[in-house]
Structure 1
Amino acid sequence: MHGPLAASDECDPDDGALHSHVQRPRPQVHDAAPPAPIASPMSRIAITGARGFIGQRLTAVLRGQSHEVIALGRTPTANGTIRTWHLGDELPADCSTADIVIHLASAALTGSASVQRAAELDIEGSRKLVAQLRRWRRDGHRCRFIFVSSQSARPDARNVYGRSKWTIERLLTEPDEIIVRPGLVYGDPPASVFASFARLARLPAVPIVGARRSIQPIEAGELCDCLSQIATMEQPPKLVQLGAVEPLSFAEVLSLTALRAGRRPPLMIPLPSAPLRLLTNFIDGLFRSRLTERLDGLIGLQPLDTAPSLASLGRTLAPLGTRPAAPGAAP
């Protein structure tokens, strides 16, 4: 059973009509040339969370670029392409020769612990990784650390996930410790928060809260391309914010998700946030889900200024409403 989600406490009566005339956002074009990569075209890169939605794609992208990838995840693959590693463990000894560590792993995304316990594990596990990499640097080995955070990362975030991401970001005070804040990551098959949008987009009607534009999508493959570029740049920015330059409302994202799947957008029914939150709390109690945590994250989401980061990478993002190509289709 899947409950409704929301994007804002503000309620707009025109939200329900958005499905019939939603405008597809135009991609933002930046003229800046991509920065020069590091001297060596091939790097040794360790990835935590390599079995995840982003991690699998990133591993494939980096290996396709001839980088040597140490892929670490909770469950290994039979062919050994992904090795066992758990959040809270130190990295394996052979990672000490890695040029870059990209930290994707998050207990909050596994659903195997309470929200608070998952946040504590994320923070302490990340703290351990940072301390380990700093020891390697003191021993004379340069290793860049890239932490994939979230658009929801704020000290006053409404959800535990956003506050924990902010706490981890505050640990990264030394050079070559990079923070990447992506917006809503989408792709096929849908996963994580986008999977909730995809499920809701199949319903005939969906309750929503507000029309404030704060959601900034980025396609998973484009995010991986950006991460690859950041990993190999000579001097990447300390903070990289990635997502659509023009934020979208919850209703617009839902409509574009339906259109992307070739469906008619659902009817959207504005509701106050209080009864919606009571409903998600009830569903969480029945099914041990995290709908309220995700609802709070969307309600409290604040737009990112992504234009400078996209310009520094020389990147253009495809709009969410773009239909995915059929397998084997010509480009």
Structure 2
Amino acid sequence: MEPVKTVAVTGASGYVGEAVCRALTKRGIAVRALSRRDPGIAGTRFVAYDLRHELEPGLLAGVDAVIHAAAETSRGAEPDIEAEIAALHRLADAAEAASARLIFVSSQTARSDAPTGYGRLKASAERIVLDRLGAVVRPGQVYGGPEKGLWGTLVSVAQRAPAIPRFMPEPRVQPIHVDDLADALVLLACEARPRPRVYAIADPRSVAFSRFIQLVAISRFGRRPIRVPVPLAPIIWALRGVEKLGVRPAFVRRLASLNDLPALDSVADMAELIPYHRRFPDGASRGTFCHRGLIREGVVLLRYATGREPDRWLLRSYARAVSSVGEAGPLELSGLTRLLPRGLTLFDQPAARRRNGEQDALSRRIDLALLLAESSAQHVDGFLMSSHTPTRLAQILQLGLALPLEAVGRLADAVAGPWLDRVRPRPIEGSDHPA
């Protein structure tokens, strides 16, 4: 089998298409970027492409594979199905003439009886691609990267909304980072001929939709919007009643689509294509090295370790150290703990450390904060008895105040240790439920 040299990507300037172009160029594969706008990515050759127009002759000449990620988004949840199907036929014909394999980016909502025209369109398109012996990829809830498309909308909600509706029953989503999805698409494009079937690309573990948005808010903006329980069925019934009056808000169909979202059985496909994918909410932050979550965590743990406000250098050192050793995301610290860091004494007890074992993130990070503080010029004097009499007296007073708090912590652990273990701060974890 000859290596793949050139791949065409439709919708190259879109959310998923842009990530696919980056993933291809990193592998040294030439990219023919087919879109209405130039994605501006080095290593790509832009070719103007519009779903509504006929293809130029020879558009796919010399192309080894086509990743079809383009979609008409101007009409929202109700696209022009006939026009998009005609565009797919034109693209599939051109790919067949060029002997290029076809990979189609579908949707988790793809069903012939889907509440939205978008879901029904994707179901029809899947059948056409499979009949043409192409491969279909159904991604889960795509997140991370540039704030585009639905991800951009969800980020905006996470940033601004004071509360998030927690629909009952609660819809669940299966996250997949946009770069992991791109890697899976590239692997399929590089196969000699992908099997003509549907590939499910999503975390096998699901997360409640309101929790998904809340975790985006925590990891990206350091805020924690409350989740307000809202019965879902009465809302849908009421909105459908409005539809019967001739008003057809797209929100109704989108809400019904979210409520009826089918689970993706993705275990085998993820193991085959991207076994080492990111676990949500990893990748949901802005991606800066010393991102805000670890900086905020460092403020609390270093104040606990030293009793003083840490400087910027020490906070950056803490964030770098946590990131460099491959730790999970920031600890989910309560508002009370952030206000009163000394409250961590309740969890930082010898018996609690033994119960939670060597893999306990809180214990490791407290030890890291102590180590960094002891080696910093700003705080090293706090760990040594000063020769300056007023300072030494202040240190003795501080130790005297700490002893009663330590005694309270040991007593609390002896009385309510198992309960404290349940509320113990742990790294933010979102995907807690099998699909």
Q: TM-score, length-normalised on structure 1?
A: 0.75
In the TM superposition, what is the alpha-carbon distance from 1:272 to its structure 2 partner? 2.9
Are 1:75 and 2:37 counterparts?
yes
Distance 1:73 1:281 in 2: 40
Structure 2 residue aligned with 1:20: none
Distance 1:54 1:251 in 2: 23
Are 1:210 and 2:168 counterparts?
yes
Distance 1:230 1:190, change over 3 A: same
Of the candidates 193, 210, 219, which is equivalent to residue 251 of structure 1?
Answer: 210
Are 1:62 and 2:27 counterparts?
no
Give the conservation status (yes or no) of the 8 Å contact 2:217–2:224.
Answer: yes
The structure showing larger relative contact order (alpha-carbon pairs under 8 Å, at least 6 residues apart) is 1
Q: Report 1:217-232 matches (<5 A).
A: 217-232=175-190
Q: Deviations over 1:141-192 (max 9, x none)?
A: 4210000001111112122111110010011234640100001111133222
Structure 1 residue aligned with 2:8: 46
Structure 2 residue aligned with 1:89: 53
Structure 1 residue aligned with 2:64: 99
Distance 2:25 2:286 in 1: 23
Give the conservation status (yes or no) of the 8 Å contact 1:211–1:251.
Answer: no
Of the candidates 269, 294, 315, which is equivalent to residue 275 of structure 2?
Answer: 315
Give the conservation status (yes or no) of the 8 Å contact 1:207–1:270.
Answer: yes
Distance 1:327 1:57, change over 3 A: farther
Q: Deviations over 1:66-114 (max 9, x none)?
A: 111110111246898422110033444141321101101101x2x2x37
Could you say what secondary structure the match of 2:199 adopts?
A: strand
Between 320-329 and 60-69, the greater mean CA deviation after superposition? 320-329
Are 1:166 and 2:123 counterparts?
yes
Structure 2 residue aligned with 1:190: 147
Could you say what secondary structure the match of 1:133 adopts?
A: helix
Are 1:267 and 2:226 counterparts?
yes
Of the candidates 281, 293, 304, which is equivalent to residue 264 of structure 2?
Answer: 304
Distance 1:145 1:78, change over 3 A: closer
Could you say what secondary structure the match of 2:218 adopts?
A: helix
Distance 1:280 1:327 in 2: 47
Runs of 5+ consecutive residues of structure 2 not aligned to the other structure: 243-247, 291-319, 325-435
Distance 2:168 2:187 in 1: 36
Distance 1:250 1:223 in 2: 20
Runs of 5+ consecutive residues of structure 1 not aligned to the other structure: 1-38, 283-287
Could you say what secondary structure the match of 1:96 adopts?
A: coil
Distance 2:130 2:186 in 1: 22
**Aligned residue type for 1:201:** A
Q: How many residues align?
A: 280
Between 50-59 and 270-279, the greater mean CA deviation after superposition? 270-279
**Aligned residue type for 1:234:** A
Distance 1:208 1:279 in 2: 18
Could you say what secondary structure the match of 2:20 adopts?
A: helix
Q: Which has the higher helix share?
A: 2
In the TM superposition, what is the alpha-carbon distance from 1:125 to its structure 2 partner? 1.4
In the TM superposition, what is the alpha-carbon distance from 1:115 to its structure 2 partner? 4.6
The Cα RMSD (Å) is 2.9
Of the candidates 173, 181, 184, which is equivalent to residue 138 of structure 2?
Answer: 181
Which of 1 and 2 has greater Rg?
2
Give the conservation status (yes or no) of the 8 Å contact 2:77–2:254.
Answer: no
Give the conservation status (yes or no) of the 8 Å contact 2:126–2:136.
Answer: yes
**Aligned residue type for 2:104:** F
Structure 1 residue aligned with 2:254: 294
Give the conservation status (yes or no) of the 8 Å contact 1:46–1:71.
Answer: yes
Distance 1:114 1:266, change over 3 A: closer
In the TM superposition, what is the alpha-carbon distance from 1:129 to its structure 2 partner? 1.6
Distance 1:65 1:251, change over 3 A: same
Between 249-258 and 47-56, the greater mean CA deviation after superposition? 249-258
Distance 2:203 2:130 in 1: 27
Between 267-276 and 218-227, the greater mean CA deviation after superposition? 267-276
Structure 2 residue aligned with 1:325: 287
Distance 1:78 1:305, change over 3 A: closer
Structure 2 residue aligned with 1:151: 108
**Aligned residue type for 2:209:** F
Distance 1:155 1:310 in 2: 25
Distance 1:114 1:121 in 2: 15
Q: TM-score, length-normalised on structure 2?
A: 0.58
Q: Report 1:9-24 matches (<5 A).
A: none
Could you say what secondary structure the match of 1:97 adopts?
A: coil
**Aligned residue type for 2:52:** G
